[in-house]
Amino acid sequence: MKIFAITLLAGLSLGAGAALAQQPAAANIENGKKHFTTDGCYQCHGTLGNGAAISGPRLSNTELPFEAFLMQLRQPANEMPPYEAKIISDATVADIYAYMKSLPPSPDAKSLPLLTGMGVK
């Protein structure tokens, strides 16, 4: 995760093309929800964007600015495949981003009885 943050910040400071993009004001949450599933995002990030340690980071209620979200999608820092604009348009990414921002944050592991019974402290 530390490598992701360093790479992301380095890319932002270099002014990479995707970092200059602005989230469109008219992002569509329902369209974002649809594309999150149909474009396969859920396969690594979970059906509600909660992520998992072995697949993809949490995206629900993301604190990333849109520019960083878009850059990570276009030029991934880790094992994620790149999604070029001809595959997922900037407008669709904005919709997915709006959907992720609309989701509640992931629950704390300590609040899940199943996990606390497994020794999560």
77-115: pLDDT as tens digits: 888 999 999 999 999 999 999 999 999 987 777 787 777
Q: CB–CB of 60/50 below 8 Å?
A: yes
46-83 pLDDT, tens digit per residue, is 999 988 878 899 999 999 999 999 999 999 988 899 99
Q: Which residues 6+ apart lie within 8 Å of 34 measured at CB? A: none
* Banded pLDDT at 24 (limits 50, 70, 90): low
Q: What is the pTM of this model?
A: 0.72
pLDDT at residue 44 is higher than 50:
yes
Give the lowest-confidence range in 1-5, 12-16, 39-43, 99-103.
12-16
Report whether CATH 1.10.760.10 matches the domain 18-116. Answer: yes
Q: Is the model more confident about 54 or about 28?
A: 28
Q: CB–CB of 58/50 below 8 Å?
A: yes
- The pLDDT, as a whole number, for residue 19 is 39
Domain ranges of the chain: 18-116
- Tell whether the torsion through CA atoms of 94, 87, 7 and 59 is positive or negative: positive
Q: Is the model more confident about 82 or about 5?
A: 82
